[in-house]
Amino acid sequence: MKTIDKTPKGYVPYSLLSVCGNKLTGGAKILAVGDTFPILIGKGSKPQIWLMAIASPNDKKFISIVEASISQHSFVRVEEVGRQLVVKVQGATVLKVEQTGDDQALVSEIDMRPLGLNVFGGVSELNAGGMSFSNNTFSGGGTLISFGL
C-alpha cells in the first residue's frame, strides 16, 4: 500500500507531470484517499505506473492492480501504444501516459471510475468528486486531489 509517508520502491516522481490540463511539479501527487495514493506515475525509461482499486467499498480497502507498469491482475492490461502507456481494466481505458522528456510526462486521459473512484478527465480538464480542475499548477510534496475516508 502506498501511504503518505511511504511510496513504493523504485518510485521517482517527475519534475513536471501534466495531468489533464494541470501541472504538478516538485513531486506533487495526483490523488490521495486517506493515507493511500491510488495512482502514482514516476519516471524511468518509460513512465512507471502504480494503480490501486477499491477492493471493497464497505471496508474502504485498496488492492494493487499495477506495480511499476506491470499488471497484477488478469483483468488489467498495460499496453504500449506508440509513445504512450495505456492501462485498461476489463477493456475500458483508465489511464494514458506519455513521457515527453527525461523528467516530464503527460497524462492525456484518466478514468478511475472503474476502480471505484470518481476521478476522470481528458486533455484539458480533470474532474473529481463533482469539482473541475483546469490550468492549475501544484508544486511540492502535496496532492492535487485528496479525499478523506
Range of the domain at 95: 16-132
Please state the three-class secondary structure of 28-55 as a single string.
CEEEEECCEEEEEEECCCCCEEEEEEEE
Q: Mean of the pLDDT values across residues 47-60? A: 88
> Is residue 76 in a domain?
yes
- What is the spatial distance between Cα 76 and Cα 71, in angstroms, rounded to a whole number? 6
Cell of 104: 516530464
With 0.75 as the threshold, say if the pTM is over it: yes
DSSP 3-state of 64: strand
In tens, the pLDDT along 90-114 reads: 999 999 999 999 899 999 999 999 9
Split at pLDDT 50, 70, 90, the class of 57 is confident
Q: What is the tally of structural domains in the chain? A: 1
- What is the spatial distance between Cα 46 and Cα 49, in angstroms, rounded to a whole number? 9
Split at pLDDT 50, 70, 90, the class of 5 is low
> Is residue 86 in a domain?
yes
> Is residue 58 in a domain?
yes
Q: Which amino acid is it at 127?
A: N
The answer to whether residue 140 scores a pLDDT higher than 90 is no
> Is residue 29 in a domain?
yes
